[in-house]
Structure 1
Amino acid sequence: MRGRHAVGAALLAAVLLAGCQSEEPVAGNTSSAPVERRPSGYGSVFLAMDECSSFGTTSFTEVPCDGERAAARVVARHDGTVRDGPPCPGTTDFVLHISEQSPSDEDGDGAVPQGYACMRNLEPPHPGDPGAGGGPRTIVGDCVYSTGGGRQVRETSCDGKSEKKPQYKVVKAVGKRSQCPVSTALYVQLGGERPVGCARPV
């Protein structure tokens, strides 16, 4: 590796699912986009904390944060897979999955390990905000609707402007069901340190 120039990694952008267990309803969203391959040149780690990416319909690349192509900033960066690693911050807008790449720079030592970057748009809209109806995680303030059978739920916007109308709103996150308010009508799996979401009808 020469200086702080890192090797670009092929990415697949996907939104992290909130998790799934058969014992309680879960919420999740999905989206994906390929990312073009190119040297980053902006840090010793490809898409490290506080670095920025472009945003387009077909690809993402690492770009200077003060450049006109910058659209989203890395708010957390972890090695490994989303399933095995720490969850992204609650208001993350989307997740970029970084595939492992073998050395390919001039010196032959620029390997990029598998990992993922939690991204936040530099400007609105922010689908990861509470009630906005998107993002990789379901958090307090989000609304959900049943996808059938009462065992699975998905996130939707609380303002009722999405195709699916909200049926429940997550009002509290707790460690276990018994800590939810008595008005709780639905338990939603959130993940993280307080994995149970207490939801009530809207």
Structure 2
Amino acid sequence: MALVVTAALTVALAGCQQSSGDGDGDRDGDGEGRPTASAPAPTRASGYGVVFLGIDECSSFGRESFTEVPCTSERAAARVIARYDGRAGEGQPCPATTDFVLHISEQKPSADEDGDGAVPQGYACMRNLEPPHPGDPGGGGGPRTIVGDCVYSAGAGEVRETACDSTAEKNPEYKVTEAVERRSDCPASAELYVQLGGPRPVGCARPL
């Protein structure tokens, strides 16, 4: 994901974190505290097959296409840890350690949870059943950047997230050590400020 950042003693740049792609089963990001047109409530989970990818239900592995499967199935690869109606960029942020987001297009199956013959547009915040977990601090991925993550300079006032253990293609250059309300709250060791959003929107990043 690309993040807009500001270096120490420079003019702040506006922006928010965003990862590329859209459509069914792809990844997308939305920063904590992102402005929303509405605040949709999570879809209530009622067991496999009752709510399409409800909370605590599982999906098969895949980003381009996916299916809901029982969590005990050998095909199960990830679990829903939060589920919302609407578009990810306009709704509630996923939990901090979400590994990826599945975008669910509106569908009209023969049966659904309320009997109206439709599954509304929404998104499911997913957590892999087994490692790796790119959404963990330092994991190098996930829809959000959080404390403990590492980034590298992507030019033009942007940084991108990468694994802290240097196993990714790009080596880490900075590590987000704290989330604070204002840049002035960052420690003196901070040389980069990453916009995180939420009640503590400034990420203090030190060089590695």
Q: Report the TM range for the smaller structure's normalisation.
A: 0.7 to 0.9
- Residue 147 of structure 2 corresponds to residue 157 of structure 1: no
- Paired letter, 1:114: Q
Distance 2:152 2:165 in 1: 13
Q: What does residue 170 of structure 1 align with?
A: 176
Q: Superposition RMSD on alpha carbons, in Å? A: 2.5
Distance 1:69 1:176 in 2: 45
Q: CA deviation at 1:19?
A: 6.5
CA contact (8 A) 1:33 1:59 kept: no
CA contact (8 A) 2:102 2:123 kept: yes
Structure 1's unaligned 5+ residue stretches are 1-16, 36-40
- Paired letter, 1:65: C
- Listed as ranges, the matches of 1:39-188 within 5 Å are 42-56=48-62, 58-101=64-107, 103-105=108-110, 109-149=116-156, 151-188=157-194
Q: How many equivalent residue pairs? A: 179
Q: CA deviation at 1:25?
A: 7.0
TM-score, normalising length from structure 1?
0.79
Q: CA deviation at 1:104?
A: 3.7
- Paired letter, 1:131: G
Structure 2's unaligned 5+ residue stretches are 6-11, 26-46
TM-score, normalising length from structure 2?
0.76
Change over 3 Å in CA distance of 1:23–1:179 after alignment to 2: same
Identity of aligned residues (%): 68
Q: SS of the residue aligned with 1:119?
A: strand
Q: What does residue 43 of structure 2 align with?
A: none
CA contact (8 A) 1:18 1:136 kept: no
